[in-house]
């Protein structure tokens, strides 16, 4: 089996650490792992395949000989260093928003648009975490019934906002002084309808990501409107999704399609209190779906509830899956 040299940019962050964990769990054929981070992380180390590896400063020359560079250090870092990695011969799989909507950069969820992986010019973009879990469920339904419109409200974990967000929630729950406020308001016992910056039309950047990324990934002119909310949950994003189809559908058919869909786990037995929850989706790679029911206010409508671990499938696992597609070929 051919082995590959892999760099992880942002190796000391939440997603970077998870990327290395997923690489090991999924037995990705790594010859050499190169953990890269900012200067303040130099001197730290990571454990990979029972080996202690020093974290090195992110510099352009570090990408020599690297086959895959997994980036999760923010859009600014990706814009500055991803071109250097590509120039050195690496394939960049970028978890930031830097290149997602760029023409010529595939935006890939392997269960949905695997074929787009091979159209890259050195950079492949990992979609937004909330978009990933939604399109894994939408795609098989769209193939059968053709989606006309989606209305989604999200309930997003603090882990999606990074380590400072987690620390703020932990401090507030422990009733101790908050070391650093990540959010503009307390997050414990609260909900914030505010993820990323607001635009002039009242929508946030996160909400627009879901709209635009869904269309690009699905390769379909689907109307999407979103409200994204940060909630005091440690791991896992939840979504209430209303779907309007162009063609007749039944709850039974939707359940059976999703039961067979790749990457999806059906949890839909309310009589037994079985439905997706962040606490049961935590540290898992699948997308969980339940609460499937007819929307009788429109001719062809379905309501459902989607939950997934935003650090795994919403970021690290999806990135590693893209690399797996590349080494497996078409």
pLDDT in tens, 157-183: 999 999 999 999 999 999 999 999 999
Q: What is the per-residue pLDDT for 74? A: 94
Q: What is the mean pLDDT of residues 239-263?
A: 98
Residue 322, domain CATH: 3.40.50.720
Q: In Å, how far are 39, 96, 117, 306, 310 from 123, measured between CA atoms?
A: 24, 12, 10, 29, 22
Q: What is the per-residue pLDDT for 254? A: 98
pLDDT digits (tens, 9 = 90+) for 275-312: 999 999 999 999 999 999 999 999 999 999 999 999 99
Radius of gyration, alpha carbons of the chain: 20
CA distance 214 to 128: 10
Q: What is the per-residue pLDDT for 277? A: 98
* Phi (first) and psi of residue 53, to 5 degrees: -125, 130
pLDDT digits (tens, 9 = 90+) for 10-43: 999 999 999 999 999 999 999 999 999 999 999 8
pLDDT digits (tens, 9 = 90+) for 185-233: 999 999 999 999 999 999 999 999 999 999 999 999 999 999 999 999 9
Q: For the chain, what is the mean pLDDT? A: 97
Q: What is the per-residue pLDDT for 103? A: 94
Residues 256 and 274 placed together within one structural domain of the fold: yes
Q: What is the per-residue pLDDT for 1? A: 79
- Burial category of 31 from C-beta neighbours within 10 Å (exposed 0-12, middle 13-18, buried 19 and up): exposed
Q: What is the per-residue pLDDT for 329? A: 85
Residues 285 and 176 placed together within one structural domain of the fold: yes
Catalytic residues: 129, 237
- Burial category of 122 from C-beta neighbours within 10 Å (exposed 0-12, middle 13-18, buried 19 and up): middle
Residues 140 and 236 placed together within one structural domain of the fold: yes
Residues 159 and 94 placed together within one structural domain of the fold: no
- Per-residue burial over 192-208, b if 16 or more Cβ lie within 10 Å, else e, is beebbeeeeeebbebbb
Report the run of H or E that residue 5 belongs to, with start and end.
strand 4-9
Residue 295, domain CATH: 3.30.360.10
Structure tokens at 293: 């029911």
pLDDT digits (tens, 9 = 90+) for 45-90: 999 999 999 999 999 999 999 999 999 999 999 999 999 999 999 9
DSSP state of 1: -
* Phi (first) and psi of residue 85, to 5 degrees: -65, -45
Residues 189 and 275 placed together within one structural domain of the fold: yes
Structure tokens at 211: 């709209």
The residue range of the domain holding 264 is: 130-310
Residues 48 and 84 placed together within one structural domain of the fold: yes
Cα 261 to chain centroid distance, Å, stands at 18
Strands laid side by side in the 237-245 sheet = 223-230, 147-156, 237-245, 301-308, 287-295, 264-266
- Residue in the structure block whose two tokens are 């193939």: 143
Q: How many domains does the chain have?
A: 2
Q: Can you tell me whether residue 190 is helix, strand or coil?
A: coil
Concatenating the DSSP letter of every residue in 164-197 gives HHHHHHHHHHTTS--SS--SSS--TT--BS--SP
pLDDT of 330 above 80: no
Residues 109 and 216 placed together within one structural domain of the fold: no
CA distance 17 to 31: 18
Q: What is the per-residue pLDDT for 284? A: 97
- Indicate yes or no: pTM above 0.85: yes
């Amino acid at each position: 089996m051919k082995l590959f040299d892999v760099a992880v940019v942002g190796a000391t962050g939440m997603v970077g650490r998870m990327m290395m964990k997923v690489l090991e769990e999924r037995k990705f054929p790594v010859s050499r792992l190169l953990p890269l981070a900012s200067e303040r992380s130099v001197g730290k180390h990571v454990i990979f395949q029972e080996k202690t590896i020093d974290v090195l400063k992110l510099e352009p020359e570090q990408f020599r000989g690297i086959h895959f560079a997994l980036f999760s250090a923010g859009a600014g870092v990706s814009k500055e260093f991803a071109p250097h990695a590509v120039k050195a011969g690496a394939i960049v799989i970028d978890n930031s928003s830097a290149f997602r909507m760029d023409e010529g950069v595939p935006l890939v969820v392997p269960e949905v648009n695997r074929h787009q992986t091979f159209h890259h010019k050195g950079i492949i973009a990992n979609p937004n975490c909330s978009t990933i879990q939604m399109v894994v469920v939408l795609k098989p339904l769209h193939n059968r019934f053709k989606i006309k419109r989606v209305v989604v409200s999200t309930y997003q974990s603090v882990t999606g906002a990074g380590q400072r967000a987690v620390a703020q929630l932990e401090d507030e729950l422990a009733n101790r002084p908050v070391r650093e406020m990540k959010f503009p308001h307390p997050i414990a016992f609260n909900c914030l309808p505010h993820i990323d910056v607001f635009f002039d039309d009242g929508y946030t950047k996160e909400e627009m990501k879901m709209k635009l990324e869904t269309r690009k990934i699905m390769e379909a002119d689907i109307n999407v409107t979103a409200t994204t909310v940060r909630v005091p949950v440690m791991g896992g994003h939840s979504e209430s999704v209303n779907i309007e189809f162009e063609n007749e559908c039944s709850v039974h058919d939707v359940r059976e399609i999703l039961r067979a869909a790749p990457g999806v786990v059906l949890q839909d037995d309310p009589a037994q209190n079985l439905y997706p929850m962040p606490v049961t989706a935590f540290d898992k790679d699948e997308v969980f779906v339940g609460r499937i029911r007819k929307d009788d206010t429109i001719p062809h409508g379905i309501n459902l509830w989607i939950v997934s671990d935003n650090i795994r499938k919403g970021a690290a696992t999806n990135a590693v899956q893209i690399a797996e597609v590349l080494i497996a070929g078409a």
